[in-house]
């Protein structure tokens, strides 16, 4: 029987240690670097390091386009924000990483999927729930949930000592002030000095996608985003792929200080956690998409979506991506988004995003009806009967309750 495993490998301290540790346990290790459009990482150097440590294989798979097209954009269509603010950049990527690792496991005949989630956070839920939904027979190895592993590596000091012993090259130090995770959708920062909610995160963090609003240009930048059935398809009049849409907006919006948030969120496992995020491109897409919906969607339909949206955000955040409920919700949003076609121009200035214009061939906005001037298919006299009917229960209650005022 095969004794090989697929490791979701990032090339950082934790997963580099895991390569050596898994080999110590007798496993053949197949490292998979899932390329999610992480900026500024040397993929070839990371794969070479895995092989130098002793991995059986080390390969990369680029799923950036799939991440944006099939995961991030459907969540965008839901206008889903966890706890009203977080755009779910890390959460969205985890089920795709699990999927890629299971595909690699089939290719190499591996018997288990290994991840380096700490056992305290949300990622362990997202990886495991996704993997088990895709392959109910999958074996998952989560070293941080093993007491023997935690005893060997109670902290970063022991990990660094292990790397030195095994001659594993790492850039990490024991004094790193925070931990970060990145993909093309966002970069997250947490732990270290950020674990104190009273600490201002701005001076602590070396932001990778955005300049500070204070240092952004003094001139507003405009950008025009085109949508077709709720999907962003063009940027400044030019058709672009899903990944290029996000990456180019990251550059434009990031230079204008757009997309930073600092929150204390409620993790699925029960604790509160402080996180700082930057998501410049997706912040623009959320604003533009919502603006176009205001023109094109029926009131009751979009209000229904808005009531369900927080639940979708929770499902994504918790890791319930591959399930019947999510399948049904995605079918609903696909139908709802059919008229959301048109263009929106945004103004970006020192961290702010404003809507400058919006147009759509599917617009439900009727200027003649909405205008304060006479005209259109609206007669104010009709409102008299409308309001008398609406007021029936209120007048009855008023007579019975005799409210003080």
Domains of the chain: 4-62+88-177 (3.40.50.620), 185-359 (3.90.1260.10)
Burial class (CB in 10 A: 0-12, 13-18, 19+), 245: buried
* 319 sits in which H/E element: none
Which parts of 350-403 are beta strand (E)?
352-359
Q: Which residues are annotated as a binding site for ATP?
A: 8-16, 116
The pTM (predicted TM-score) of the whole model is: 0.94
Does residue 339 register a pLDDT over 60? yes
Dist. CA 162–CA 142, nearest whole Å: 19
**Quick check: is 401 catalytic?**
no
CA 44 to chain centre: 26
Dist. CA 237–CA 381, nearest whole Å: 45
What is the per-residue pLDDT for 402? 78
Which parts of 168-316 are beta strand (E)?
179-182, 187-190, 221-228, 231-235, 238-239, 260-266, 272-278
Dist. CA 36–CA 65, nearest whole Å: 8
What number is the average pLDDT over the span 36-45? Answer: 85
CA 387 to chain centre: 44
Per-residue pLDDT of 152-173, as tens digits, reads: 999 888 998 999 898 888 775 6
Question: Mean pLDDT for the chain?
Answer: 93
CA-based nearest residue to 221, from 249, 182, 179 = 249
What number is the average pLDDT over the span 349-376? Answer: 89
**Quick check: is 135 catalytic?**
no
Per-residue pLDDT of 248-273, as tens digits, reads: 999 999 999 999 999 999 999 889 99
Q: For 149-153, 170-174, 328-332, which range has the lowest pLDDT when averaged over its residues? A: 170-174
What number is the average pLDDT over the span 167-190? Answer: 83
**Quick check: is 2 catalytic?**
no
Q: Which residues are annotated as a binding site for L-citrulline?
A: 86, 91, 122, 126, 179, 188, 265, 277
Q: Which residues are annotated as a binding site for L-aspartate?
A: 118, 122-123
CA-based nearest residue to 118, from 158, 153, 160, 163 = 153
Q: Choose the catalytic residue: 4, 81, 104, 123.
A: 123
Distances (CA, A) of 130 to 7, 93, 98, 161: 15, 11, 6, 33
CA-based nearest residue to 14, from 166, 169, 156 = 156
Q: Choose the catalytic residue: 4, 81, 94, 309.
A: 94
Does residue 1 register a pLDDT over 60? no
Dist. CA 257–CA 348, nearest whole Å: 9
Does residue 175 register a pLDDT over 60? yes
In degrees and rounded to multiples of 5, residue 350 shows phi and psi of 45, 55
**Quick check: is 156 catalytic?**
no
* 343 sits in which H/E element: strand 342-349
Q: Choose the catalytic residue: 179, 279, 291, 360.
A: 179
């Amino acid at each position: 029987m095969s004794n090989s495993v697929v490791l979701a490998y990032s090339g950082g301290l934790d997963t580099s240690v895991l390569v050596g540790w898994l080999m110590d346990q007798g496993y053949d290790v197949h490292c998979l670097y899932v390329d999610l459009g992480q900026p500024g990482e040397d993929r070839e150097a990371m794969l070479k390091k895995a092989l130098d440590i002793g991995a059986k294989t080390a390969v990369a798979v680029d799923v950036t386009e799939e991440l944006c097209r099939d995961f991030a954009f459907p969540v965008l269509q839901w206008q889903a924000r966890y706890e009203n603010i977080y755009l779910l950049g890390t959460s969205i990527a985890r089920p795709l990483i699990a999927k890629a690792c299971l595909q690699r496991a089939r290719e190499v005949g591996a018997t288990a999927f290994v991840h380096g989630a700490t056992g305290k956070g949300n990622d362990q839920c997202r990886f495991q729930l996704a993997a088990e939904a895709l392959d109910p027979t999958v074996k998952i190895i989560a070293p941080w949930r093993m007491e023997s592993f935690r005893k060997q590596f109670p902290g970063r000091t022991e990990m660094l000592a292990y790397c030195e012993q095994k001659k594993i090259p790492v850039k990490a130090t024991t004094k790193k002030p925070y931990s970060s995770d990145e993909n093309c959708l966002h970069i997250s920062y947490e732990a270290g000095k950020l674990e104190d909610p009273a600490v201002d995160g701005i001076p602590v963090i070396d932001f990778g996608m955005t300049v500070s609003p204070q240092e952004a240009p003094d001139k507003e930048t405009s950008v025009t985003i085109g949508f077709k059935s709720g999907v962003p398809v063009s940027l400044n009049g030019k058709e672009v792929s899903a990944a290029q849409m996000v990456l180019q907006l990251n550059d434009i919006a990031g230079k204008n200080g757009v997309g930073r948030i600092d929150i204390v969120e409620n993790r699925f496992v029960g604790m509160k956690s402080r996180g700082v995020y930057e998501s410049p491109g997706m912040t623009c897409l959320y604003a533009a998409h919502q603006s176009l919906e205001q023109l094109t969607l029926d009131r009751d339909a979009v209000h229904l979506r808005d009531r369900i949206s927080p639940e979708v955000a929770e499902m994504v955040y918790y890791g319930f991506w591959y399930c019947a409920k999510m399948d049904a919700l995605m079918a609903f949003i696909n139908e709802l988004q059919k008229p959301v076609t048109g263009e929106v121009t945004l103004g970006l200035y020192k961290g702010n995003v404003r809507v400058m214009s919006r147009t759509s061939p599917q617009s439900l906005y009727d200027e003649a009806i909405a205008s304060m001037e006479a005209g259109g298919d609206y007669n104010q006299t009709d409102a008299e009967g409308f309001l008398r009917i609406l007021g029936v229960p209120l007048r009855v209650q008023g007579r019975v309750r005799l409210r003080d005022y």
